[in-house]
Structure 1
Amino acid sequence: MKRPAKDQAFSERMISRRALLLGSAQVGFVGLLGWRMQSMQVEQADQFRLLAEENRVNIRLLPPSRGLIFDINGQPIADNEQNYRVVMVREDAGDVEAVLAKLTEIVDIPDETIARAVEEINRRSPFVPVTIADRLAWDDVAQINVNAPALPGISAEVGLSRVYPFGADLSHVVGYVGPVSDYDLSQGYLSEDNDPLLQIPKFQVGKTGVEAKEEQILRGSAGTKRIEVNALGRVMRELDRAEGESGKDIQLTIDADLQSYVQARLNGESAGAVVIDLENGDLRAIASAPTFDPNLFVRGISTKDWRDLNENKYRPLAAKAVQGTYPPGSTFKMITALAALEDGVVDAEETVYCPGFTDVFSTRFHCWKRAGHGNINLHESLKQSCDCYYYDISQRVGIDKMAAMARKLGLGVRHDLPLSAVASGLAPDKDWKKRVRNEDWRIGDTVNASIGQGYVLASPLQLAVMTARIATGREVTPRLIKSIDGIETPSGLGESLGLNENSLRRIRASMVDVSNHRRGTAYGSRIVADGMQMAGKTGTSQVRRITEEERANGVTKNEDLPWERRDHALFVDFAPVENPRFAIAVVVEHGGGGSRAAAPIARDITLQALYGGTPPLDAYPTAARPEIEEQQRRIRDFVVPGRKTQDRA
C-alpha cells in the first residue's frame, strides 16, 4: 500500500537529521583522535620517548628552609648553612651493597656510617631517598657526579643544615635539632604530626629548647619536584618544582653578648643564672653551667662525647636555670616577712630576741650566727639575715599564708616558657603535705620553711621573678619570645600585685642595706658607682647536716665535706636602687655561703647588664679592682661578642 506523500516526506527528514547527527559525531571523534595523536606524537614525543626507553618520572619532597632564630639585637643564634650530601634510592640502586662498595672507592665514608645507612635503607620504603653521608666537600660531590653512570640510585644533593654560631653559650635556651627518630614519632610533640617531611630519613626536627617547643613554627611546609630518571636511576633532568613555605623566623629576648658573658662568668662552677628586664619581663640571659656544644648533636654526636656529657657529675645537659630546683634559703625570708606584714601579725619596728637558737617544743632550731643577734627588728633581720626572727614570726602568720605569698611572687608556679623541662618548684602548705605525703603539717615544718628550707623548692628563674615582682610591685611575667615573623608578642610587665606599697618599701630598703651597709651580708660585693647601686639578698641552702660522727672526725665546716654534700649558694638582686632596670638570680650548686660564692657573680652580671658591656673598674670597691681587672681580661679572651664562642662544655 502506497504511503501518503506527507508521511514519506516526514520520514525522509528524520533520516536526514539522524544521518547528520551520526556523521557529526563520527567527524568529531575522528578529529579528537587526530588531535590526541598529534599531541602524543609531536608535543609529548620527548616524554613518551623517555618512557619507551624505560625512563620514569619520580616525585620527591623538597624540605623547606628552617626558620632562623635571632637574639634581641638581631644576631642569628640558630642559622642554616649549605650541606652537601649523597643519597640513595633503593628501588633504583638494585644491588645496594655493590653500589655502596663502588661509592666508598670514590668517596671516603667511614664503615660505621655505611652500616647505619644500610640499616636505614632496609627500614625505609624502596622509593624513599636515604642519606648515606652528609657534610661532604665539594670535591667529593664532583667525584660522585662524574661517576654517576656507575652509581645507580646514587645522587649528590645540596641542602641546609642547622648551625649555632654562639656554640655552647645558648645551648640550654635555643636547644638543638637532630634527625627524626622512631621514638620522636611515637612520643611527645610529634606523636600526632602527620607531616610527610617526618618520613624523610635524617630530616631534622627540634629536640630541646626553643627548637623543640616552636617546631611547628620553625619547620615550614614541604615543596615537591618532579624529576626524570633513567633505567639506572640516574637523574636526567628536573621537570618542574613547587616550592614549599619556609619556616617562620623567631626573635628571642635574649641578649646573646650578655648571655656569653654570663656563661663565661659562671665558668668553673655548677650553677644557674637569670637576668630579667623589669620594663617588660624580657629574659636577657638564662645561663646554666657547665654547658655543651649543640653543634655536636646536629652533626651526629659520637659515643664518647655522649658518654662524657651524660656521666659528668656536674650535669652539663641539665638546664639548671629553669629546670633545677633548690631550697631558696634566706632569699625566702622576704616572702615570710611580706606575708607577716600583709597579715598584720608583725610591726616593722617590733623586735625579736635572737640568742642564737629557737626552741620549738623538743626541737632546737639554730641561727647561722651561733652567738645570736640580740634584739632585732624586720629591717635588721633581713640585712643581717637573722634566722631566729623568722622562726618566731612564721609561727604567727602560718604556712598557708606564707605559701600564698610565695605563689603571688612567682614561686611554686610553672612559668610558661618555650623551654624544655621548666620546673614548678614547690611552695608547700598543709593541703599539699596531706595530699602528697599523707601526713599532717607540723609547726617545725613552718619554722623550716620560714628560712627557705624543708620542703620549699625554687629555680633560679622563679627567684628572679620573685625579685622582679618585689622591685616593681607588679606581676612581672618572664618573656622569652619577642616576636614571630616580625609580629611582637605581649609584654610581660603585668598588673599590680595589690600588695601594700609600704610593706614593699620596707623589704626593698632592707635589701639595699644587705648590699650597701657595712653590716649587710653582701657588703663585700657592693657596687660603688653613683646611680648603679644594687639591692640584694644572700641565701645559703643546706643540703645536709653535718652529723655528730663527722664532727667527731674533725668535719666541722661546709668546706670539709665532699663537693656534692656542701650547701648551695644563692643571691638575688635588682638594680639600680632608685630606678630598677634588671633583676638577677644566681644559684651556685654546692658553692657554700651565698655572700662568698653567689653574690660576687651576681654583682658582676648586674654591672655587665647595666653598662651594656664591660663596666669601668671604678664601679667596684677599690680593694677589689686588681682582681676584677684580671677577671675582665680573662673573660675578654674567652668571649668574642657577636661571634662563635669557644666551647665551654
Structure 2
Amino acid sequence: MTEPAIFFNEVNERQGVFHRRAFIMGGVVTAGLFALGARLADLQIIENNRYKTLATANQYNFRLVPPPRGRIVDRNGVELASNRPNFRLLLQKDQVDDVDQTLDAAAQLIPIPPEKRRQLSRQIENAQTFVPVVLAEDLSWDEFARLNVRTPELPGLQADMGEARTYPFGGAFAHVVGYVSKVTDATIKAAGPNPDPLLLNPGFRIGKQGVEKALDLDLRGKAGGQKVEVDAKGKVVREDPLGDIKPVPGKTVELTLDADIQNKALEVFGAESGAAVMMDCRTGDVLCMYSGPSFDANRFVSGLSGAEYQALTQYDHKPLLNKALTATYPPGSTFKTLVALAALENGYDPRTVHVCGKSWPWGGRVWHCDKAHGAQDLRGAIATSCDIYFYQCALSIGPDKIAAVARRFGLGEIHDIGIPGQKPGLIPDTSYKRKHFPHDPVWHPGETPSMGIGQGYVNVNALQLCVQAARLANGVKAINPRLIHSIGGVAQPSGAEAPDLPLAREHIDFVRSAMGAVTEAGGTAGAAAQLGLGPIRMAGKTGTAQAHNYTAGGHGAHGAVGAWAGRDHAWFICFAPFDDPRYAMSVLVEHGGFGADAAAPKAREIMRVALLKDPEIRARIEKPMPMPDIPASPADGAAPPPPTGGPLTGVAGPNPDQGVSE
C-alpha cells in the first residue's frame, strides 16, 4: 500500500524540478531574444544612417588627384615657372600578379634600358600596395598613343597624362627660383608617421632650392579626389565622376624680378663666373639676382644622370653655387666708400691730403698701391681708388668705427628676402678678434690698413653690396631688399618700410659725389661706365679683391693674368641716374681681374636695360628734335620765289635739251 505513494511523490518532485528549469531556461531565452531584438532595432532604426555611411565608404574610395603647382611670375606677369603636360606610363601594383612579365610587356611598347629596369624593380618592391609606380614619363605623343591602344590588354598598366614643372628661361633664374625634384625617402621619413599623401603620389615633385623650396607649401595647393567604386579586394570596378573632389591649385607667387634685366645679366656674363644683383633704391624691390654660370633647372625635374651631376659638381666655375647669396668674397675697394663715411662721421677732414708714391713704408713693412697717385684728398682718393690714402684714413679711426658704419649699410647680416641660402659674411672688429682668436686676441695695428681697402677678414656677398649701394643712393632710408612681391595675391611688406639712416646727410652726399667722380674722366671707371643715354649718368665704385697674396711663393696674379683660379675678383657697385637715383646694383666677376675692366662694363649694360624700361627715364633721354626753320608762306595770289639752285622737284627726269651736271 505504501509503494504507490512513494512513486507518486518522486514523480511530482521530478516534474517540479523540470518545470523550474524550463521556466529559467525560458526566461534566459526570452531575455536573449529581447536583447537581440533590441540590438537589431538599434542597428536598423536608431543607427541606420551611421552604418549606411560606413557601408558606402566601404564600397567607394577616393584616389588622390594632385593639384596643379602654383605659378611663379616676374613683376610684369612673365612666367618663370609653370606646368606642362606630362605623358606617363603607370603600373598599378595591386593589379599585377607577375611584375617581370608586366615589365617585359611594357618594354615591347617603349624602351626600358636594363639599368632603368633594375631601378624600377626596386621601386615596385618598395612601393605601397595601392600607390602606382611611374614606369616612364615625358613620353612622346606617338608613344602615348601606342600605349593607350594596348594598355587594355595589359592588366596593371595605365597610360596617364599628368603635369610636370617647366622653367621657360632655363638657367637665367635657376638659383633664385630654384627647381623641383623627386621626393626622397629621407623627406618622407622627416614628415613623420602621417606624411602628406601627396608625397607618396607618383610624379609628385617637391621644391629643392630658391623660391620653390621656401614657398613649397603655398605652391603645392590642396589635393583632390577621384571617387571610384571598389570591390572587396580594393580593385576599382566603376568610377563616379559626380562624387569627385576638385583639387585646389597652388598659389601664384609674384616676384619683384624683371625677366628682361635678368636675361640681360645672363647674356653679358656668358660663361664667366660671378653674380649681379639690382635693387630699386626707392622701394627695395630686387629687380635682378643672377648667379653664373648657371644650370638648366628643367634637367632636375626628370632627374639628372650620375654623369651630368658629376660634371656640374666638378666644374671649377661651380655652377651649382649661388654666388649672389651663398658665396662670400672680400669687397676690395668698394669698401672704401664706407671707410670714408665712417671717417667723416668721426670728424675726419675731407681736405686731408696724403701723398701716394705707389709704396708706403709703415709698421716694419712696405704697403703698395697700383699707381703713384700723388697728393690726394678724400674725394680724389675715392675717385682714383688710392690704397695708400685709405691705409692711413683707416688707421685714423680704427676698425670698430668702420665696422659700425658697415653694418648700418647692410654688410655682415642676413637679409630676409624669403629664400634660404644666404651667408652673412664677416665685418670684423676688435671684439671679433677677441672671440675667435683666443691664442692672439689683440687687434694689431697692422690689421687695420688691410681692412681699410676691403681686405683682411672682411667678407661679403653680392646682395649685401647691392644693399650698400642702394642705401647710399637713397641717402635717407636704410631700405631692405624685397624679392617676393605677393603670394596668392597678398602683397608682402615693402622694403621701403625701414628706419632712417643714422648718419649725417651731408656726409652721404659727399660720398655719392665722389662716386660720381669715379665714372668721370680721371676716375677708375671713367671709360667703362659711360651709359650713352644723353643726360643720364651713373655713379659707382670699382673694386679689385685679392684672391691670393702676391708675395714670393704666392699663387696669385694681379689683374686678369695667370691661371684663372689665382686671379683677383672684380667688383663694381653703382647707382643711376646720378642726380635722381632709382636703381642700384652690384656686379661680381669671380677671378675677373680689375673691376673697371671686367665688372663695370657688365654693370653698364645691365643698368641700361633698367633705365630704358623706365618711362620717366626714357622721357628724359628721348627729347624731340628741334623743328627746322620754315620760311613764311607768300601772300595769296603772289608768285612763289624763283628756285635758288639744286635739283628740281616734281620733274620725271632731266631735260634732254639741257646738259646733265655731274
Query: Match of 1:316?
Result: 319
Query: Match of 1:205?
Result: 206
Deviation of the 1:368 alpha carbon: 2.0
Query: Match of 2:538?
Result: 534
Q: How does 1:114-129 map to 2 (within 5 A)?
A: 114-129=117-132
Query: Match of 2:20?
Result: none
* 1:329 partnered with 2:332: yes
- Looking at structure 2, the residues matched to 186 and 433 of structure 1 have their Cα atoms a distance apart, in angstroms, of 42
Deviation of the 1:388 alpha carbon: 1.4
* 1:445 partnered with 2:467: no
Which of 482, 485, 489 is 1:482 aligned to? 485
- Looking at structure 2, the residues matched to 347 and 99 of structure 1 have their Cα atoms a distance apart, in angstroms, of 85
Larger Rg: 2
Decide whether aligned partners of structure 1 residues 401 and 256 sit closer, same or farther in structure 2, where only a CA change above 3 A counts.
Answer: same
Contact 2:333 2:543 in 1 (8 A): yes
User: Over residues 145-179 of structure 1, what are the superposed CA-to-partner deviations in whole Å (9 max), with x where a residue is unaligned?
Assistant: 44344422222222211001111111111110011
Between 521-530 and 305-314, report the one with greater CA deviation.
Answer: 521-530
Query: Match of 2:518?
Result: 514
From the two aligned structures, give the one with the greater helix fraction.
1
Contact 2:524 2:542 in 1 (8 A): no
Contact 1:270 1:589 in 2 (8 A): yes
Contact 1:184 1:191 in 2 (8 A): no
Decide whether aligned partners of structure 1 residues 31 and 223 sit closer, same or farther in structure 2, where only a CA change above 3 A counts.
Answer: closer
* 1:604 partnered with 2:605: yes
- Looking at structure 2, the residues matched to 205 and 57 of structure 1 have their Cα atoms a distance apart, in angstroms, of 30
* 1:277 partnered with 2:263: no
Query: Match of 1:155?
Result: 158
Query: Match of 1:424?
Result: 424
- Looking at structure 1, the residues matched to 334 and 192 of structure 2 have their Cα atoms a distance apart, in angstroms, of 41
Percent identical pairs in the alignment equals: 38
Contact 2:268 2:602 in 1 (8 A): yes
Aligned partner of 1:132: which letter? L
- Looking at structure 1, the residues matched to 101 and 123 of structure 2 have their Cα atoms a distance apart, in angstroms, of 17
Query: Match of 1:349?
Result: 351
Q: TM-score, normalised by structure 2?
A: 0.81
Deviation of the 1:132 alpha carbon: 1.5
Decide whether aligned partners of structure 1 residues 570 and 60 sit closer, same or farther in structure 2, where only a CA change above 3 A counts.
Answer: same
Aligned partner of 1:226: which letter? K
Decide whether aligned partners of structure 1 residues 209 and 141 sit closer, same or farther in structure 2, where only a CA change above 3 A counts.
Answer: same
Aligned partner of 1:417: which letter? I
Decide whether aligned partners of structure 1 residues 603 and 484 sit closer, same or farther in structure 2, where only a CA change above 3 A counts.
Answer: same
Deviation of the 1:417 alpha carbon: 2.2
RMSD (Å) for aligned C-alpha atoms: 3.4
- Looking at structure 1, the residues matched to 257 and 606 of structure 2 have their Cα atoms a distance apart, in angstroms, of 14
Query: Match of 2:96?
Result: 93
Aligned partner of 1:612: which letter? K
Contact 2:433 2:443 in 1 (8 A): yes
Contact 2:567 2:592 in 1 (8 A): yes
Between 195-204 and 534-543, report the one with greater CA deviation.
Answer: 195-204
Contact 1:149 1:232 in 2 (8 A): no
Decide whether aligned partners of structure 1 residues 230 and 158 sit closer, same or farther in structure 2, where only a CA change above 3 A counts.
Answer: farther
Contact 1:383 1:511 in 2 (8 A): yes
Which of 544, 554, 557 is 2:548 aligned to? 544
Contact 2:70 2:253 in 1 (8 A): yes
Deviation of the 1:525 alpha carbon: 2.6
Decide whether aligned partners of structure 1 residues 558 and 536 sit closer, same or farther in structure 2, where only a CA change above 3 A counts.
Answer: closer
Contact 2:560 2:594 in 1 (8 A): no
* 1:365 partnered with 2:367: yes
- Looking at structure 1, the residues matched to 199 and 178 of structure 2 have their Cα atoms a distance apart, in angstroms, of 19
- Looking at structure 1, the residues matched to 462 and 604 of structure 2 have their Cα atoms a distance apart, in angstroms, of 15
- Looking at structure 2, the residues matched to 68 and 328 of structure 1 have their Cα atoms a distance apart, in angstroms, of 36
Query: Match of 2:502?
Result: 498
Deviation of the 1:227 alpha carbon: 2.2
Aligned partner of 2:469: which letter? T
Decide whether aligned partners of structure 1 residues 117 and 230 sit closer, same or farther in structure 2, where only a CA change above 3 A counts.
Answer: farther
Query: Match of 1:436?
Result: 436
Q: TM-score, normalised by structure 1?
A: 0.82
Query: Match of 2:388?
Result: 388
Between 335-344 and 512-521, report the one with greater CA deviation.
Answer: 512-521
Deviation of the 1:195 alpha carbon: 1.6
- Looking at structure 1, the residues matched to 74 and 192 of structure 2 have their Cα atoms a distance apart, in angstroms, of 30
Query: Match of 1:461?
Result: 463
Contact 1:522 1:538 in 2 (8 A): no
Query: Match of 1:250?
Result: 253
Aligned partner of 2:600: which letter? A
Decide whether aligned partners of structure 1 residues 318 and 386 sit closer, same or farther in structure 2, where only a CA change above 3 A counts.
Answer: same
Between 512-521 and 392-401, report the one with greater CA deviation.
Answer: 512-521
Contact 2:252 2:488 in 1 (8 A): yes
- Looking at structure 1, the residues matched to 117 and 202 of structure 2 have their Cα atoms a distance apart, in angstroms, of 14
- Looking at structure 2, the residues matched to 119 and 424 of structure 1 have their Cα atoms a distance apart, in angstroms, of 43
Between 542-551 and 324-333, report the one with greater CA deviation.
Answer: 542-551
- Looking at structure 2, the residues matched to 560 and 472 of structure 1 have their Cα atoms a distance apart, in angstroms, of 37
Decide whether aligned partners of structure 1 residues 144 and 519 sit closer, same or farther in structure 2, where only a CA change above 3 A counts.
Answer: closer
Instruction: List gaps (5 residues or longer) in structure 2.
Output: 1-33, 622-662
Decide whether aligned partners of structure 1 residues 30 and 311 sit closer, same or farther in structure 2, where only a CA change above 3 A counts.
Answer: closer
Aligned partner of 1:397: which letter? I
> Is the partner of 2:172 in helix, strand or coil?
helix
Contact 2:545 2:570 in 1 (8 A): yes
- Looking at structure 2, the residues matched to 275 and 447 of structure 1 have their Cα atoms a distance apart, in angstroms, of 30
Query: Match of 1:132?
Result: 135
Deviation of the 1:58 alpha carbon: 4.6
User: Over residues 388-445 of structure 1, what are the superposed CA-to-partner deviations in whole Å (9 max), with x where a residue is unaligned?
Assistant: 1111121121111111111110110111123341121111111112222323221122
> Is the partner of 1:455 in helix, strand or coil?
coil
How many residue pairs match? The answer is: 580
Contact 2:188 2:195 in 1 (8 A): no
- Looking at structure 1, the residues matched to 560 and 573 of structure 2 have their Cα atoms a distance apart, in angstroms, of 23
Deviation of the 1:205 alpha carbon: 0.5
Deviation of the 1:85 alpha carbon: 1.4
Deviation of the 1:233 alpha carbon: 8.5
Decide whether aligned partners of structure 1 residues 490 and 192 sit closer, same or farther in structure 2, where only a CA change above 3 A counts.
Answer: farther
